[in-house]
Structures are given as structure tokens and as C-alpha cells.
Amino acid sequence: MKKLQPERKQMDKKFALKFMFTLFLFFLIFQRLDLDKFINLLSKINLQYILIVFGIWISSVMISSIKWKLIMNHYRINVNVLEAFDLYLIGTFFNNFLPTSIGGDSYKFIHLSKKFRAKKMELLSSILLERLFGLITIVSFIVVFGLVLAGKLGLNPLIFAAITLACAIGYAFLIKFRNIKSASKNKAIQKAIDGYNTLMSFNDKPIFFISFIISIIFLIISILAYHFGFIYFSSSVPLIYLFLFVPLISLVGLIPLTINSLGLKEGAAIFLFSMIGIDAEITLSVYLLVRILLMMFSLIGGIRYLTHKRT
């Protein structure tokens, strides 16, 4: 118990630092806003837009659950789609309190590892692969639409060409060292090696292709949520810019500096959309409204978590 106390204090300290940094970012954001205009925009919320965002959110959770279920099938982890969907809902709830938008994955792993004790490594690999497909899709959109829009945004296309080259080198490195044949006396290092080998042993091409297609659909659905948001606030943003900006903002959101990427995404969104003349008040209204609605919807996951605890 005494050993846990220093670790708990360290975690509390990190949380406090993230909380303070989150507040600092929002302080900087609100410093440059016309608060009256911002409040006036938020006062226009109606049920129609809430229902649109809810439909988009529930659809994205469902297709992500299907993708995860397909990957688990490869590892012979027998979880049905409804259970995967249920765990995804709970994961979205935990994302509200953890750094980055993937914090809820830890709950999914802990819950299922009790049921599949002999397949913990495969279970972890399924979770990591599901996220990896999403990350590959995000980077792909950034590279493709970055190259298309670089000239219009006054950016050097070599930036996106360099990202492409870095990804290609990274991929070649992973293929070269696909399987690490090494035995270590250190249990932690050996577990890491075993985990890497399990992850890299995934070679099911049909599931790989389907998972990548599902990740593209998921990202497009997410983009539409913000597209409708800008339309709702009477702001004309060409859809093609959203195909670059939304993935970029999602990538920024993976940096574990704040609680659930609060402040990071909003700040990145204001900066990017200002490049095409969108007011900071409108951008913040869209991103905060979508975030608040998603947090409200994720309470469904909180209710499911309480149900899980009782059973």
C-alpha cells in the first residue's frame, strides 16, 4: 500500500499539471475572442443539430466497434458486435477524464483481459491495431489533401512530401524488422518484444483492407459533423478544407498535454480555419459545441459502466 502512495501522488501531480495547462490554453483562446459574438452564436443551438450530431456519433461508434470486432476475429477473441459496441461506449465516457482521445482503450483492455486471460497480448494488439488503422487514415488524408491544398494555403508542398517520405521509411523499417528474435531476462523488455511480434504478425489482407475502408468511412463521418456545424452557424467552409483540417486537428489531439485534448484541438482549429478567413468565434463555437454534445452523449457509456459494475 505504501508503494502505491508515491505513484498515486505522481499521477495526481501529472493530472494537476494537465488541468492547469488546459486552463491556460483556454485563457489564451478566450483572450482573442469577441465574447458577445461567441455567446450569441451558442445561443442559436436547436434540437435539429443536436440530433444530427448524435446520429453521426452513434454511427461512428458502431462502425468502429465492427472494425475492432473484425480484428479480434483474426486473433480468435470471440466478442460479438454488441459487446464491442458496449465497451466502445464506455471507452468514450472514460475519454472525458484521461489524456488524449484514446484513454478509454485502457478500460476495454482491462475488462476483456479478465475474460480472455490467455490472450492478453492478442487483445492488446487488437486495440492497438484498431487505433493504428485510424492513425494511418488520418496521416493519409493529411498527405493527400495537404498536397492538393498547399498552394491555396500558401504552404510549401515539400512539407507534405517529407511526411510521405518519413511514412515510407517508417513502413520499410517495420517490414525489415517485422519479427524480433530475441530473448531477454528482463520480463518487461521480453513482454514488449512479444507484444511487438504479436502486433506485427497480423497478415490478414481481407481484414486489413476492410478495416482501412471502415477507418476512411469513420473519418468522413467525423468530418461531416464539423461540416454541418459550420453550416449551422451560417459559415461557408469548402468541404475540401475540412478533409485536411479535421485530420490535422485530430492528430494534434493525440498529444497528451491536456485532459482529453481540451484546448489543444480548439486552439489548432482556430489557427487552421483562420487561414481561410473563418472567425475564431465561429470555429470555437463549432468545436466546443461538438465537444460538449459528444461529452453529453458519452454519458450513455457512463450508465453502461455502472451497469457493468453491478453485474
- SS3 for 259? strand
The tens digit of pLDDT for each residue in 20-75 reads 877 777 777 777 767 777 777 667 777 788 888 888 889 998 999 999 999 998 88
pTM given for the model: 0.82
Outline where DSSP puts E strands in 173-289.
none
pLDDT at residue 98, rounded to an integer: 65
Helix 239-252 vs helix 120-153: crossing angle, to nearest 10: 130
Residue of 280 and 40 predicted with greater confidence? 280
- SS3 for 40? helix
pLDDT at residue 9, rounded to an integer: 64
Contact between 246 and 226 (Cβ < 8 Å): yes
pLDDT at residue 180, rounded to an integer: 64
DSSP 123-190: HHHHHHHHHHHHHHHHHHHHHHHHHHHHHHHT--THHHHHHHHHHHHHHHHHHHTSS-----SSHHHH
- SS3 for 85? helix
What number is the average pLDDT over the span 277-286? Answer: 87
What number is the average pLDDT over the span 222-236? Answer: 85
Q: Look at residue 79 and tell me whether its pLDDT is greater than 80.
A: yes
Contact between 157 and 150 (Cβ < 8 Å): yes
Q: Look at residue 182 and tell me whether its pLDDT is greater than 80.
A: no
The tens digit of pLDDT for each residue in 293-307 reads 888 888 888 888 888
As a whole number of angstroms, the distance between CA 2 and CA 307 comes to 32
pLDDT at residue 68, rounded to an integer: 92
All structural domains of the chain with their residue ranges: 44-147+205-310
User: Which has the minimum average pLDDT: 121-130, 208-217, 218-227?
Assistant: 121-130
Tell me what the pLDDT averaged over the chain comes to: 81
What number is the average pLDDT over the span 193-220? Answer: 82
Best mean pLDDT range from 93-107, 155-169, 211-225: 211-225
pLDDT at residue 1, rounded to an integer: 47
Q: Look at residue 101 and tell me whether its pLDDT is greater than 60.
A: no
Q: Look at residue 145 and tell me whether its pLDDT is greater than 80.
A: yes
Half-sphere exposure of 284 (CA within 13 A, CB side): 24
Among residues 118, 92, 129, which one has the least CA distance to residue 107? Answer: 92
User: What share of the chain in percent tops pLDDT 70?
Assistant: 81
pLDDT at residue 85, rounded to an integer: 92
What are the φ/ψ torsions at residue 259 (nearest 5 degrees)?
-75, 120
The tens digit of pLDDT for each residue in 117-136 reads 888 888 888 888 888 888 88
Among residues 242, 251, 285, 247, which one has the least CA distance to residue 266? Answer: 285
